[in-house]
Chains A and B, each alone.
Chain A
Amino acid sequence: MHRRGVGAGAIARKKLTEAKYKERGTVLAEDQLAQMSKQLETFRTHLEAFASKHKQEIRKSPEFRLQFQDMCATIGVDPLASGKGFWAEMLGVGDFYYELGVQIIEVCLALKHRNGGLITLEELQQQVLKGRGKFAQDVSQDDLLRAIKKLKVLGNGFGIIPVGGTFLVQSVPAELNMDHTVVLQLAEKKGFVTVGEIRTSLKWETERAKQVLDHLLREGMAWLDAQAPAEPQFWFPALFPELHGQDGAPEAAPGNAEP
């Protein structure tokens, strides 16, 4: 008996049609994928050879790492995308940066109660190196920046703000727009800023300056010295790490004035 659309015969016919359809369309893709698979194997061998000669160099030399990263970026390859990628597996680049990421997260968390989640790249480097111990590999600022760029994807608010020739690293999901950034840049020279200075240098209205400073105060990134002689001063702990007073317990509320 022959029922329409059902039964072994129909199924077999369907499979045949699919196969013919596939045959026509994907022959080209199949060929290229096979080619890519082969070339991938060849590349893997080259990378293995390179790693056996220069793996140490990558681990030990920040300059070589920098060169390596720049070249990867130029050709459109991200060696840090996945721990499962060839680069991570064979060169060990991955482990270096991913571990650095963990160390950066921990340092930022430990200091957040002091600086509100903002820290200079210099201080971050110092603290990370301290944590790594005497015998660990050297870590350059470029290394830190690359690790931080990767951490952004975790949604914790990691960001990099250029100030005065260096960078501030943000590690909390506070919203910092152009206005906040510009005030931070202005404060970078002395570690503090006043409403008057903002009005003079940036030509802003008092209201705008106050709003920006208040936001930074609320986020715990700025501390208010209302006792300053001329006018109140807004200090940024991130910009003067050596001058911190007593160490409050981590995760304590920022509160106000530390003259």
Chain B
Amino acid sequence: MLDCGVLLLSTHRLIWRDQKNHECCIAVPLSQIVFIEEQAAGIGKSAKIVVHLHPASSNKDPGPFQSSKYSYVKLSFKEHGQIEFYRRLSEEITQRRWESMPTGQAIRSPLPGRIRAVGIVGIERKLEEKRKETDKNISEAFEDLSKLMEKAKEMVELSKSIANKIKEKQGDITEDETIRFKSYLLSMGIANPVTRETYGSGTQYHMQLAKQLAGILQTPLEERGGIMSLTEVYCLVNRARGLELLSPEDLVNACKMLESLKLPLRLRIFDSGVMVIELQSHNEEEMVAAALETVSEKGSLTADEFAKLVGMSVLLAKERLLLAEKMGHLCRDDSVEGLRFYPNLFLTQS
């Protein structure tokens, strides 16, 4: 029974080889194929490709059967590979490369009634070995990964248990120990179970990072009018680092400490949720007064226009105009042509 085998595709032929008996090999020239169709898998049946063939020519090599009432052959894909194989076979049939390329080794069986595929066996064996090697590597990697995760899970359990102990003994844990615990959690990437704070907030690492940032960002901030969005800062700092990059959370947690560490920068969060870093010397409310002048000169401005005029990012330009609106200096005209800001004449003329 032609039960279990491997299907091979060349530019000239479709070859099937018995998995157990490698000597047993059947081939069909691609030129004999009229068309092919797919049959999807279903319950209890595997995906198939149906290969419709021309009538056999009279000088055809003998095959497994003398004759057949069918003009097609069904290839049943018990495990997988049907989709890819169908695609490749379609390509070969379309390209018809057998017409322009001479066949390689002519494979002719010395024994009547059987085809021996000599060259192919070696290739198949190599493929098989490579596949086994890859499989082994992959399964080893996954096995190692599972073992690692088991150990990581133990760490998570331990941290929960410590957190419970801390909760029970309210206030009896020293500040030192709290800091230690937080840094352990940071190493493992475990959220603080006691306070549910974001990862690693308030650790030594973030304090140091905050001080570093104050140094790194001084000049860039001055160059950009004293204010930068947090995404700009993230890109700037990480591009400069190249390696050992900061996570977004690292950056946010460090910036949250800027004010308390009395550094010359601060984190500010606008109503829209946009987060910026400002120089301490920067006064956004004063900038609003300047913005009002600019808008008045032009009559009205959109965030895009204002950004271009002043040389700011559109994001921050919009925030400044929104702040000016909040403070009552500007009012808006929100139409489908965009959001436009006008000086608030209600305020100035009343």
Interfacial residues, chain A to chain B (CB-CB below 8 A): 21-22, 24-26, 28-30, 32-33, 35-37, 39-40, 42-44, 46-47, 50, 53-54, 57, 64, 67-68, 71-72, 74-89, 94-95, 98-99, 101-102, 105-106, 112, 150-157, 172-173, 214, 217-218, 220, 224, 251-256
Q: Which of B191, B273, B304 contacts A251 (CB 8 A)?
A: B304
Cα–Cα distance between A220 and B275 once the two chains are bound (Å)? 22
User: Which residues in B have their C-beta under 8 angstroms from that of A68?
Assistant: 145
Cα–Cα distance between A206 and B335 once the two chains are bound (Å)? 18
Q: Given the known inter-chain contacts A71-B145, A99-B245, please indicate yes or no for A79 contacting B189, CB distance below 8 A.
A: yes
Q: Given the known inter-chain contacts A82-B249, A251-B307, please indicate yes or no for A29 contacting B158, CB distance below 8 A.
A: no
Interfacial residues, chain B to chain A (CB-CB below 8 A): 141-142, 144-149, 151-156, 158-159, 161-162, 165-166, 169, 171-174, 177, 180-181, 184, 186-191, 198-200, 205, 229-231, 234-235, 238-239, 243-252, 269, 272-275, 302, 304-305, 307-308, 313-315, 334-339
Closest chain B CB from A176 CB (angstroms): 13
Q: Given the known inter-chain contacts A78-B189, A173-B273, please indicate yes or no for A71 contacting B149, CB distance below 8 A.
A: yes
User: Which residues in A have their C-beta under 8 angstroms from that of B165?
Assistant: 28-29, 32
Q: Given the known inter-chain contacts A67-B142, A76-B156, please indicate yes or no for A29 contacting B172, CB distance below 8 A.
A: yes
Q: Which of B152, B200, B272 contacts A173 (CB 8 A)?
A: B272
Assess whether A256 is in contact with B177, with CB atoms less than 8 Å apart.
no
Q: Given the known inter-chain contacts A30-B177, A256-B336, please indicate yes or no for A81 contacting B272, CB distance below 8 A.
A: no
Cα–Cα distance between A253 and B307 once the two chains are bound (Å)? 10
Assess whether B172 is in contact with A25, with CB atoms less than 8 Å apart.
yes
3 A-B pairs with the lowest CB-CB distances in the bound complex, closest first: A25-B172, A155-B275, A81-B199
Assess whether B338 is in contact with A78, with CB atoms less than 8 Å apart.
no
User: Which residues in B have their C-beta under 8 angstroms from that of A83?
Assistant: 244-247, 250
Which of A33, A74, A112 neighbours the largest number of chain B CB atoms within 10 Å of its CB? A33
Chain A, interface SS category:
helix
Q: Which of B173, B188, B189, B337 contacts A26 (CB 8 A)?
A: B173
Q: Given the known inter-chain contacts A32-B165, A102-B235, please indicate yes or no for A253 contacting B305, CB distance below 8 A.
A: yes
User: Which residues in A have their C-beta under 8 angstroms from that of B238?
Assistant: 98-99, 101-102
Q: Given the known inter-chain contacts A29-B169, A33-B177, A154-B231, please indicate yes or no for A81 contacting B189, CB distance below 8 A.
A: yes
Assess whether B274 is in contact with A156, with CB atoms less than 8 Å apart.
yes
- Number of interchain pairs (Cβ within 8 Å): 218
User: Which residues in A have their C-beta under 8 angstroms from that of B142?
Assistant: 64, 67
Assess whether B250 is in contact with A82, with CB atoms less than 8 Å apart.
yes
Cα–Cα distance between A21 and B169 once the two chains are bound (Å)? 12
Closest chain A CB from B105 CB (angstroms): 36
Assess whether B187 is in contact with A84, with CB atoms less than 8 Å apart.
yes
Q: Which of B162, B272, B302 contacts A36 (CB 8 A)?
A: B162
Assess whether A154 is in contact with B188, with CB atoms less than 8 Å apart.
no
Can you list 24 A-B pairs, Cβ within 8 angstroms, ordered by A?
A25-B173, A29-B169, A32-B161, A39-B154, A42-B151, A46-B151, A50-B144, A64-B145, A78-B191, A81-B247, A82-B199, A82-B200, A83-B244, A84-B250, A86-B187, A87-B189, A94-B245, A112-B314, A150-B247, A150-B249, A151-B248, A172-B315, A251-B313, A254-B338
Assess whether B141 is in contact with A217, with CB atoms less than 8 Å apart.
no
Cα–Cα distance between A20 and B244 once the two chains are bound (Å)? 43
User: Which residues in A have their C-beta under 8 angstroms from that of B152?
Assistant: 43, 72, 75, 77
Cα–Cα distance between A254 and B307 once the two chains are bound (Å)? 14
Cα–Cα distance between A196 and B234 once the two chains are bound (Å)? 44
Closest chain B CB from A62 CB (angstroms): 13
